[in-house]
Amino acid sequence: MGARAAGRLWWGTVSCTLFLAVNGLYSASDDVIELTPTNFNKEVIQSDSLWLVEFYAPWCGHCQRLTPEWKKAATALKGVVKVGAVDADKHQSLGGQYGVRGFPTIKIFGANKNKAEDYQGGRTSDAIVDAALSALRSLVKDRLSGRSGGYSSGRQSRESGGGDKKDVIELTDDSFDKNVINSDDVWMVEFYAPWCGHCKNLEPEWAAAATEVKEQTKGKVKLAAVDATVNQMLASRYGIRGFPTIKIFQKGEDPVDYDGGRTRSDIVARALDLFSDNAPPPELLEIISEDVLKTTCDAHQLCIISVLPHILDTGASGRNSYLDVMLKMAEKYKKKMWGWLWTEASAQPDLESSLGIGGFGYPAMAAINARKMKFALLKGSFSEQGINEFLRELSVGRGSTAPVGGGAFPKIYTVEPWDGKDGELPVEDDIDLSDVDLDDWDKDEL
């Protein structure tokens, strides 16, 4: 072999070594199991084993220093606790899924694989092994006492129906039409194959989203799943060609494909959009009792309260024009799922005082966050444009706020609801002055 050829061979060997050093800290010969988005669900989430997983970046100095200790710990724990590593610089989506913000980040996946715990111990092999054995001891004790550590999508396959708390509705060829086609609710249906890796990755996100959507829409939007390898009539009817495929079903409309993100938050956001699109506008309620105020404000992130002029000042037509403006704004912002209330000037004086409205300047409007007991006041005109600008600022987190006076809702008086009519001045009693001698009265006064 010539010197030039030998030089090329030497440089090729060095290049390969440098390439491996830069692009990965672990190899197949190590006892550390390399994890990627492709195998993470199968290896970790669907496993009954305890896992310690390091999320690293090859260029990170702290990660490079941890590598020999991590390898030693993996060898010591072999057959007892699984030790893995994720190149989170290469697989950023996987790191992002578990909130990785710095390197190295170590997480412990115990009984509940959907709730990984952060490892906060030392970076030596001894410290890592001690922490692993401690976590393993806790896992075994939980099993002895009958605690499973919560729902895990791992071994609870869709074929076995998951767990009692699972809110994903399983559909079949026989049950689909009865549940979905004839329903007034909105359905998001995942068509999956049990062997599909992407489906397995989606499963915990779909399950978590199903629970959140059920709570936030009061069951009006449902998440379901169809095993398309078993229920082939459905798969054929809806042209399912790949997995997972998600379709949205609404009464009276053709199904449409869901093409959004595959995370819990993406799925929930789309479900809430569907819910608000199909929901009627919020009710506009008059504050006639404490129960009306508290029930509305406690059930919504914000409650929008208007204090309208007295009926004698506006008449029924004037009041209805103000209520129409509020109804239009409630329709416009119904996706926010706020509560909408109104009261007549001076009917709830303590409430006005706590909001700094104070007996003048009607109509007025305040937006109240009952959880924080803070409010913001409409500073512009009580018109569609003025209120829209006010609510738009609130919806993006801007606008000045102040604490509700007294730190809690004040006394609310029980009043009669408005009857929809013009107001009438109170009838004064007639006074008979025929028997009064005004001349004598004048003398007495003098």
Q: Could you state, in order of their start, the residue ranges of all structural domains in the chain? A: 33-144, 169-278, 284-407
Residue 63 among the catalytic residues: yes
Same fold, 33-144 and 284-407: yes
The owner of tokens 């550390």 is 32
Amino acid at 105: T
Q: Which of 16, 63, 297, 303 is catalytic?
A: 63
Using N-to-C axis directions, what is the helix angle for 384-395 and 311-332, rounded to 10°? 50
As assigned by CATH, the class of the 284-407 domain is alpha beta
DSSP states along 168-196: PEEE-TTTHIIIIIT-SSEEEEEEE-TT-
Distance CA 10, CA 36 (A): 32
Quick check: bond before 244 cis, omega within 30? yes
Distances (CA, A) of 125 to 67, 122, 135, 430: 10, 8, 15, 99
Nearest to 412, CA basis, from 309, 300, 296: 296
Residue 199 among the catalytic residues: yes
**pLDDT tens-digit readout, 318-364:** 999 999 999 999 988 887 779 999 999 999 999 999 999 866 689 99
CA 368, 373, 374, 379 dihedral sign is positive
- By the 8 A CB rule, do 17 and 23 touch? no
Distance CA 398, CA 392 (A): 9
Q: How many CB atoms are located within 10 Å of the residue 402 CB? A: 12
- By the 8 A CB rule, do 158 and 203 touch? yes
DSSP states along 140-173: HHHHHTT---S--TTT--GGGT--TT--PEEE-T
Distance CA 321, CA 199 (A): 53
How far apart are the two ends of the chain, measured CA to CA in Å? 141
Distance CA 420, CA 320 (A): 9
pLDDT at 151: 31
DSSP-assigned beta bridge partners for residue 306: 342, 365
* CATH classification code of 33-144: 3.40.30.10
- Cα 120 from chain centre: 28
Report angle CA 354, 360, 364 to the nearest 5 degrees. 70
pLDDT at 165: 43
* CATH classification code of 169-278: 3.40.30.10
Report angle CA 116, 120, 124 to the nearest 5 degrees. 115
The model carries a pTM of 0.47
Quick check: bond before 255 cis, omega within 30? no
Distances (CA, A) of 376 to 55, 404, 407, 440: 44, 9, 14, 61
Amino acid at 393: E
Low-confidence ranges of the chain (pLDDT < 50): 1-22, 148-165, 444-446
pLDDT at 156: 38
Residue 196 among the catalytic residues: yes
H or E, element range at 268: helix 264-278
- By the 8 A CB rule, do 81 and 48 touch? no
Q: How many CB atoms are located within 10 Å of the residue 358 CB? A: 10
pLDDT at 92: 87
- Tokens at 7, concatenated: 């030089």
SS3 247: strand
